[in-house]
Amino acid sequence: MTLSKKLLFKVALRSFLLQASWNYRGMMSMGFLYSIAPGLDYIYEDKNARELAYMRHFEYFNTNPYFASIVMGVTLYLEEKYKNGDKCVDPEMIHNTKEALMTSLAAIGDGFFWDNWRPYVACFAIVFAAANNSFTPFIFLFLYNLPHLYFRFAGIYWGYEEGVNVIRKLKNFNFPQMRQSLRIGTLILLAYLIPNFVRVNTPIFTSYYIAQKLSGDQYQFCQKVVQGLIALLLVYLGTKAYREKVNVLLISFFLLIFALMFYHWGIFI
């Protein structure tokens, strides 16, 4: 291993421009090549060998931008092995490894960041927004970027040190369990937020049974709990319908119909 941590850090910094030259032909290809160029320049002193390495990576590339640095680290690891004459590494092997990592990390990264982490942090930040906290945007940006920056900078070192075995390191994070926990956390936050933004009348659940036995504050609290449970049920049903391949527009249409009906019956105020 000859690439210094300083040089790998430079590659990680360049990865922020991964999508600066995004195009339909190569997607992130130009950004990927730009990012790893300092490493290739160091590995290949010969100009012709360096040009060939450049051309190898001026090809289609598209993955989750936060996990792209992992692919960059593995690529530089393999390029160094190839330059040093490792018989197990050739241009085709480098291409296939890069393509396999690109696809798998796109699925892991998009599923974690776009589908789970971003909605959770957004709901968490809205809790502060509801209290008119002026630091809400900074809270969102800080929390959202913690794992993003961690994987972007740590990933380049993992990839370069572990090579093709880097996938074992990612397994330690147990992303499926993390995604499930984030889904549950998002639902809980929604169950808390909706009653605080939507006025819902729930006499059928509270007034006739417990209102007479509770003080004003206790009664309001019970209403909020019931409203939160109803909101949680609606979110669950919508998610269930989506997983059963029901069209999102159709789900939205039925929610609108139910909302109008509830308003007509005096449930929504």
List pLDDT tens digits, range 168-187: 888 888 888 898 888 878 87
| Residues 206 and 160 grouped into a single domain | no
Whether 215 has a pLDDT exceeding 90, the answer reads: no
Q: 50 Cβ partners below 8 Å, 6+ apart?
A: 40, 41, 44
Q: What is the mean pLDDT of residues 108-123?
A: 88
**Residue 2: which of 46, 57, 41, 52 has the closest Cα?**
41
Domain count for the chain: 2
**Residue 201: which of 103, 108, 267 has the closest Cα?**
267
Any domain includes 193: no
Domain interval for residue 20: 5-174
Q: What is the DSSP letter of 198?
A: S
Any domain includes 192: no
| Residues 94 and 54 grouped into a single domain | yes
Residues 64-106 have pLDDT tens digits of 999 999 999 999 999 999 888 877 888 888 889 899 999 999 9
| Residues 44 and 169 grouped into a single domain | yes
| Residues 12 and 48 grouped into a single domain | yes
Any domain includes 179: no
What does pTM read for this prediction?
A: 0.75
Distance CA 153, CA 160 (A): 12
Q: 260 Cβ partners below 8 Å, 6+ apart?
A: none
Q: How confident is the model at residue 212 (pLDDT cuts 50, 70, 90)?
A: low
Whether 12 has a pLDDT exceeding 90, the answer reads: yes
| Residues 157 and 252 grouped into a single domain | no
Q: 80 Cβ partners below 8 Å, 6+ apart?
A: 1, 2, 3, 43
| Residues 46 and 134 grouped into a single domain | yes
Any domain includes 31: yes
Any domain includes 70: yes
| Residues 46 and 96 grouped into a single domain | yes
Q: How confident is the model at residue 196 (pLDDT cuts 50, 70, 90)?
A: low
Distance CA 248, CA 265 (A): 26
| Residues 81 and 127 grouped into a single domain | yes
| Residues 51 and 129 grouped into a single domain | yes
Q: What are phi and psi of 267, to 5 degrees?
A: -80, -45
Any domain includes 139: yes
